[in-house]
Amino acid sequence: MRFSDPRLEPIWEKVRASERLSPENGLTLFETPDLLGLGRMADHAKTRREGERVYFVINRHITPTNVCVLSCAFCDFARKKGQAGAYEHTIEDMVGMVRAEVREVHIVGGHHPDWPFEYYERVIGAIRAAHPGVQIKAFTAAEIDYFWRRWKIEPREALTRLKAAGLQSMPGGGAEIFSPRLAKLLRYNTKAAPERWCEIHGIAHALGIRTNATMLYGHVETLAERVEHLIRLREQQDASGGFLTFVPLAYQTGTTKLVPRQTPPTDSLRTIAVSRLLLDNFPHVEAYWVVIGEETTSVALHFGADDVNGTLEDERIQHMAGAQTPAGLAREQLLRMIRDAGKQPVERDALYNVVQVWN
Ligand code: SF4
């Protein structure tokens, strides 16, 4: 492989030898002008793991409520109780949202001021009872931490009870980006700190609950802060081993406008590629099509991503923040997105069991 940036050559030697990259390597990869060289290295790392396979899942996002006690500066979604646009779904509403063909439900919502922990247990139990075949991925580490802050239920107890009710895995949100500077600046220092977020994922892994991890990028963070975030996730994976997928989340400007416009596709491609190369112990890196769009997602499948997520009807959080991609993309469209990239679509369930390999 030839590179226009000679700084990539020693990194490529490490990648070829499956050696771990350093934080300094990570920063070089974020800074290099040789985007295509970076992409080829990430594609090599992805292909070595998964060949031409790219995964998708038919899933349904449920956001029980947008009522939230917090006011994170990047969030267009949250409302205060009684404010215009605030909503609270009933358990019956939520059970009714899950259609027969759905394999995974993904449940994330606001930090509600009054709903007791038992309500969340009942939500999981009711979906499990009505749809025994569906896999339930629910509650970020920030929400699990909030159950402690609000109701004094320790994360181990909360996760044990939720697992007994039917929860099988956890999404990766709530971490935003592990930086005390940004947590203060963007007003998310009142939710789970990095140590707490990692602790809760470690507890989940010990209980046999697989989890994801995310990073909110493309706002006012520095490249060094992105690298620190990724290295911290890598360390946690070394310690507890239960992460399945890393999902980089591009900040949506919506009405919060921390920056004038969404970060460009080249930055999303770069972030996905660097993530694939630094997170050598994560099985999967996702191109989240709802946020970055179909076209960028197709290209990202050549930049280290091996997953495009799912159908995501009613993906309220991203859409209220102004994501342009229409919700409810059907399986045919997911297949097209993957085939357009020249890759092999593989339909999966929440735990990456193969449902069907498509031609
Ligand atoms: S990001 Fe989550 S915790 Fe923060 S205000 Fe929005 S809903 Fe609440």
Ligand 1 centroid to Cα of residue 71, in Å, is 6
Model confidence at 321, in pLDDT bands (50, 70, 90)?
low
Q: Quote the pLDDT of residue 325.
A: 44
Average of per-residue pLDDT across 120-139: 97
- Contact status, residue 343 vs residue 54, Cβ threshold 8 Å: yes
DSSP 122-185: HHHHHHHHH-TTSEEEE--HHHHHHHHHHH---HHHHHHHHHHHT--EE--TT-----HHHHHH
**pLDDT tens track for 179-197:** 999 999 999 999 999 999 9
Type of residue found at 230:
L
Q: 291 is written with which tokens?
A: 């946020």
pTM over 0.85: yes
- At residue 208, does pLDDT exceed 60? yes
- Structural domain includes residue 1: no
Choosing from 75, 79, 115, 214 the residue with most ligand 1 atoms within 8 A of its CB, the one to mutate for a pocket test is 75
3 within a domain of the structure (yes/no): no
CATH code for the domain in which residue 99 is found: 3.20.20.70
CA-wise closest residue to 291 among 266, 333, 323, 268: 323
- Which one-letter amino acid corresponds to residue 233? L
Mean predicted confidence (pLDDT) in 224-241: 98
- Mean pLDDT, the chain, integer: 93
Whether 2 is covered by a domain: the verdict is no
Q: Is the pLDDT of residue 261 over 70?
A: yes
| pLDDT the model gives residue 252 | 93
Which residue do the tokens 């956890």 mark? 170
Mean pLDDT of 50-60: 94
Q: Supply the range of the domain harboring residue 166.
A: 8-357
Q: Report the chain's terminal Cα–Cα distance, integer Å.
A: 30
Instruction: Give the whole-angstrom CA distance, residue 41 versus residue 253.
Output: 30
Residue 27 CA: distances (Å) to CA of 7, 24, 130, 181, 318: 11, 5, 48, 19, 28
Q: How many domains are contained in the chain?
A: 1
Of 68, 107, 249, 318, which is best to mutate to test ligand 1, by the most ligand atoms within 8 angstroms of its C-beta? 68
Distances (CA, A) of 172 to 24, 65, 200, 335, 350: 25, 18, 11, 25, 13
Pocket flag, ligand 1, residue 108 (CB < 6 Å): no
Q: CA dihedral defined by 240, 268, 227, 238, rounded to 10 degrees?
A: 10
